[in-house]
Amino acid sequence: MVKAAARAYIGGMVTRLYTHPIFLEHITPPGHPERPDRLRAIERVLDDEAFAALDRAEAPEGDEGTILYAHPQEFIERIRAMVPDTGIARVDADTTASPKSWQAAVTAIGAANAAVDDVFRGSAANVFVAARPPGHHAEKTTSMGFCLFNTAAIAARYAQRQHQAERVAIVDWDVHHGNGTQDIFWDDPSVLYCSTHQMPLYPGTGAVSETGAGNIVNAPLAPQTGSEVFRDAFLSRILPALDNFAPDLIIISAGFDAHHRDPLAEINLTEDDFDWATGQLMQRAGRHSENRLVSLLEGGYDLQGLAFSVAAHVGRLMKG
């Protein structure tokens, strides 16, 4: 947990939080780990007085046309058609849609794109987007792993198209490899994708040998890995790749399921590790990207581990 009051200003600019009640209306089956209570846990922890200076904004509904930045029209229409009028529809073995899922997914995209606008226009120093459904498993033409559309990929393309960013880096510390983001940018050297993740584990991708066009940097972690190995992966692989790439924007696919309490994996991180990793990425954003950094919630399924980790992450963003 963040113990001291954090300040939310970098050069007079705020750390912004985007969220929206619609994200609670993406309903999953009873017992499903990706559930609305995840956002309620985040909301409770960020209500602490330590976060009084956090600039809170309602996420805008996204422009559906921006989904085309990462996914073809035929796929988009197929997902739209799967959204039921009532009840819950199954997209794949563990991915579902309910009546408000389309609106939730589009609003998550709107929040991510608004966050990109904020950091390029200078209206926020950095931004955390607390949204669901998550996105990093969604490939170009496949929804999977609780994800409908790849929000981080769309935001990266949005930065390039709307703000003329030449190079965008996506750093993914979710415990599950972001196969979707890797798939979308596999042969695109203008986007660097870096991932730490448990291996072996779902979805089975993310080997060191998977390098795309030289723009994919995977740092798989063995089960039961702890802080030392995780931090070494950052110091030896992720951070040097960022320095070599010198991005105009850093996007974090911020999954917190590598926390030791999480039920879906076997990596033993603490909230201090997410604080540390956030600080390292902020240093690189300051060095290369004029501090431009956007963080998008991905996984994290133990409510206490998620809440404490988000508190550490957002607290570090606010400290500058």
20 an active-site residue?
no
Phi-psi region of 64 (alpha: psi -120 to 50; beta: other; left: phi over 0): alpha
Burial profile 55-76: b = 16 or more Cβ within 10 angstroms, e = fewer: bebebeebeeebbebbbeeebb
Burial profile 114-145: b = 16 or more Cβ within 10 angstroms, e = fewer: bbbbbbbeeebbbbbbbbbbbbbbbbeebbbb
Contact 198, 265 (CB under 8 A): yes
Q: Rounded distance, CA 42 to CA 67, Å?
A: 26
Contact 299, 132 (CB under 8 A): no
Task: Name the active-site residue from 137, 177, 259, 313.
Answer: 137
Polymer length of the chain = 320
What is the H or E stretch that residue 129 is in? strand 126-129
Active site amino acids: 137
